[in-house]
Structure 1
C-alpha cells in the first residue's frame, strides 16, 4: 500500500473549485516540475563537482587517474545497483518520502567527501553517496506520472531531464571558483548545505497526486484494464519485460557520452590543453548548458511528432552526434574542441526523450517507479564503465583514445535504437496479449 496520500480514488470534484479543475491540474504539474527540476540541478551539481575537483583531490590524496576513475565508478556502481530497489520503494511508499530522504542523505555524504583522508575512505563515501542518490530517480518519475497529464508528460519529462544537463553545466561554473577560493574540501561542504535547503522545500511544497482519471488517457497511456492488471500483478512484473530491458541496454550505450564528458573533459582541458581550472570549468560547462536546451527541444519534438516512432528521431541524431565526436577528436584548438563537443552533445540531447519518453508515457502508475528504475539501471551502467574505461585509456594511451571510446558507444546506441521498438502497446504490462496491437 502506497504510504503517500493516494489520490487515485479521489473524484474530480475533490479538486479545489475556486481555481477550477484545469487550473488546479496545471498548478499541480507546474509546481511538481519546478521542484523536480530544482532537485535535479542540485543532484547534478553534487554529482559532477567530483570531476571538477579531481585534479586537486588527486594531488592531495596521492591517487592516479585510474584510481580517480575508480572513485567516480564507486558512486556509479552503487547508484546503478540500487536503482530498481529505489523504484520499488517509491512504488511501495510513495514519491514524497523517497525524494526527501534521498536528497538529505546524499547531501550528508557530499559533506562527508570533504572530510576524507585517503582512497579507501573516499571510495566508501562516494559509494554511500551513490546509494542515497539512487533512491531519487524512480521517485521522481513516479511523482511525474502522478502529477501530470499524458498530453504534457513528455514535455514535462524533457524539462525535468534537461535540468540534469543544466546542473552539470552550472557545476563547473559554480564549483571551480569555490575550489580556487577556499579549497576542494570546503566546496563540498557549501554545496551540501544547498541540498538540505532544497530537500526542505520538497517536503513542504510537493502537491498531492492528481486523480487517476486526470493522469490516464485511453489510447495514449495504459488503459484502465491494463492498469488494473498491473496493480494486481505488482511492480515486480516489470523485471520480466523484454522491451524494458532493451530500453535499459539502449540507455546504457547512450549515457556513456554524458558520463564520459562530465567526468573527464575538465581534467583534459586542465592537464592536456593547459587551461586554468576556472577556464576549463567554463569550457566544459558550455556544451552541457547547450544540451539542457536540446533536451527540452527533444521532449517537445517527441510530444509533437515522434511519440509512437521514437527511433525516427533517435537514430539520425545519434549518427550525427558520432560524426561530430570524430571531428572533436581531430580539433587542434580548444575553441574547435568545445564547438564540436557542444554540437555533438546537443544532437545527443535531442535523443534523450526519444530513449526515455516511451516508458515514461506508457508504464502504469503502479509500475512507473520500478520500471524507470530498471531503465535507469542500464543508464547508470555507463556511469560505472565510462569513467573507469576512459581513465584507463587516458593513463595507458592518451585522452584521444579515451574520447574515441565515446564515438564507439554512441554508434552502438544508434544501432541498438534502430532495432528497438518504440510502440507504447509493447510496454502495456499486465494487459492480455490479445489487447496488444500487432
Structure 2
C-alpha cells in the first residue's frame, strides 16, 4: 500500500511535465511562467513535511497518511475549476504541501515493522513506487492527454488518491517496533532500557543526518528539473514525438524502480556480511550519485540523438535510487519517538533545492539561443552538482562515530 501511495505521489509530480506542451499552449504560458508552476509545488513542500513530521512523533502514521492522500485529491480542484495560471499555481502549491510529508511518514511507518538489518529492501519498496509511478504515468497518461486533454489526467490522479485513502482506512496498521533497542537488534540486552530522547541539536549534528544530504539534495534537485523539463526536452530539444517521449520517460522510471531495489538489496547484503554502515550506506550513496552525475555530463557532451537521450534518462534515473538508504542512515541515529521528525526534517532539507530547479530551467530556456541549448545547460549543471555532492557524502558520512557520540546502544551492524 505504501509503495502504491508513492507511485501515485510521483505520478502526480510527473503530470506537470507530461502535460507541459498542451498546458503551456492552453494557458498561454511562457517557459518562465511554467517553471514557476513547477517551483511553487515545492514552496510549502518542506515546511509541511517538517510540521507533519513532528506530529508523527505523537500521532499514528496510519491516520496521517490517510489524511495526506485525501488532501492530494482535494488539491486538484483549483486547476480543474479555474484553468488559468492562478488556478495552476494554487493547485500545485496545495498539492506540494500535501505531498511533502508523504515520504518521511511512510518511511517511519514501514520501519516500525522491520529491524535495522532487515529494513533495507522494505524501505526501498516504498521508493520503488516512485519509479513505478513515473514508469506507468508516462505511457498511460500521455495518450490520455493527447486524446482527451490534460484535464482528464488530472481527474484520474484525483480519483486514484481518493481510492487509495478509502482502501487504507481498512488496511493500514501500526508496526510493533516502537523503541530504538527493539528495532536495532542490540548486542547486549542489558544496554536496552526505556526509550530515551536526545536533544535535536545533537541529532542534527550527526554525520548520518547531514552528510547524505550532500548527495541526495543534488539528486532531488535533478529530479525536480527532469520531472518538469525532461519531457519537453525530449520533444522540443531532441525532436521525439509525444508518444515516443512517453515511452522514453518510462525508461527513466524503469531505471529508477530497478535501481531502488537492486542498490538497496546490495547495501543490505553488505551490512549482513559485516561491512560497516559507513561503507555499506554512506560511501555507497556517494559512489552511486557520483556515477549518475558522470553519466549525465556525458549525455550532455554528446548533445543529440538516441544515445544522448538514453544516457540522460539513465543518469537522471540513477540519481535518486539510493534515497531510501539515506533514510536508513538517519534511522541509525534516531530514537524511534523522534524518528518521524528526524526523517521529515531530513527530507525537507534534501528537497529544498527543488524550489529553484524548475524556475532555473525555465530561465535558462528563455535566455538561451535555442531551447535545446537551455535544456542542456540546465541538465549539465545538475550533473556537476551530483558529482560534487556524491564525493562529499562518501567522505563525510560516519554513522559508527555518530552512535558512539550519541550514546546509542551497540547494534549488530556496528
Q: TM-score range by the shorter chain?
A: 0.7 to 0.9
The 5-angstrom pairing of residues 98-137 of structure 1 reads 98-137=64-103
Report the alpha carbon displacement of residue 365 of structure 1 after superposing the two structures with TM: 1.5
Which residue in 1 is equivalent to 2:192? 224
Q: Which of residues 269, 281, 290 is equivalent to 2:255? A: 290
Equivalent runs, 1:132-147 vs 2, <5 Å: 132-147=98-113
Hey, what's the Cα distance between the residues in 1 that align with 2:319 and 2:102?
Answer: 23
Instruction: Quote the Cα distance in structure 1 between the aligned partners of 2:186 and 2:270.
Output: 19
Conserved in 2, the CA contact under 8 Å of 1:249 and 1:378? no
Give the corresponding residue for 2:52.
Answer: 86
Aligned partners of 2:287 and 2:391 also within 8 Å? no
Residues 9-408 of structure 1 mapped to structure 2, 5 A cutoff: 35-212=1-178, 215-219=183-187, 224-225=192-193, 228-230=195-197, 233=198, 240-243=204-207, 244-305=209-270, 307-309=277-279, 310-331=281-302, 333-345=304-316, 347-397=318-368, 398-408=374-384
Residues 212 and 282, structure 2, Cα contact 8 Å, conserved in 1? no
- Please say if residues 358 and 424 of structure 1, whose CA atoms lie closer than 8 Å, have aligned partners that are also in contact: no
User: Residues 361-406 of structure 1: CA distance to partner in whole angstroms, max 9, x if unpaired?
Assistant: 4422212211111110122113212212122112212211111111
Measure the CA separation in 1 of the matches of 2:410 and 2:312: 47
TM-score when normalising by structure 1:
0.83
Change (3 A) 1:123 1:380: same
**For the structure 1 residues 174 and 259, does the alpha-carbon distance in structure 2 shift closer, same or farther, using more than 3 Å as the test?**
same
Check the 8 A contact 1:286/1:342 in 2, yes or no: yes
Tell me what 1:27 maps to. none
Q: In 1, distance between residues paired with 2:300 and 2:246? A: 19
CA distance in 2, matches of 1:220, 1:157: 26
Deviations 1:294-323 (A, max 9, x none): 111111121111533223323333332222
- Report SS of the residue matched to 2:57: helix
Contact between 2:121 and 2:265, CA under 8 Å: does it hold in 1?
yes
Distance 1:351 1:194, change over 3 A: closer
Mapping 1:404-419, distance limit 5 Å: 404-419=380-395
Q: 1:122 to 1:251 in 2, by over 3 A?
A: same
- Structure 2: distance between partners of 1:68 and 1:190: 22
Q: Could you say if the C-alpha distance between residues 396 and 138 of structure 1 is closer, same or farther in structure 2, counting changes exceeding 3 Å?
A: same
Does structure 1 conserve the Cα–Cα contact (< 8 Å) formed by 2:106 and 2:126? no
Structure 2, unmatched stretches of 5+, are 272-276, 369-373
Q: Is the contact made by 1:248 and 1:379 (CA closer than 8 Å) also made in structure 2?
A: yes
Q: Shift of the alpha carbon at 1:326?
A: 1.9
State the distance in 2 between where 1:202 and 1:428 align: 39
For these two proteins, the number of residue pairs brought into alignment is 398
Give the gaps of 5 or more residues in structure 1.
1-34
1-structure distance, mates of 2:367, 2:187: 54
Change (3 A) 1:404 1:281: same
Q: 1:135 to 1:220 in 2, by over 3 A?
A: farther
TM-score (norm 2): 0.88
Q: Which moved more, 1:148-157 or 1:353-362?
A: 353-362
Question: In structure 2, how many angstroms separate the alpha carbons of the residues matched to 1:286 and 1:238?
Answer: 41
Q: Is the 8 A contact 1:298 1:353 kept in 2?
A: no
Q: Is the 8 A contact 2:260 2:321 kept in 1?
A: yes
Q: Take 1:424 and 1:261, find their aligned partners in 2: how far apart are those partners?
A: 35
After superposition, the C-alpha distances for 1:163-213 in whole angstroms (9 at most, x for unaligned) are 112112222112111111211112101221011111111121013322547
3-state SS of 1:146 partner: coil
How large is the Cα RMSD of the aligned pairs? 2.8
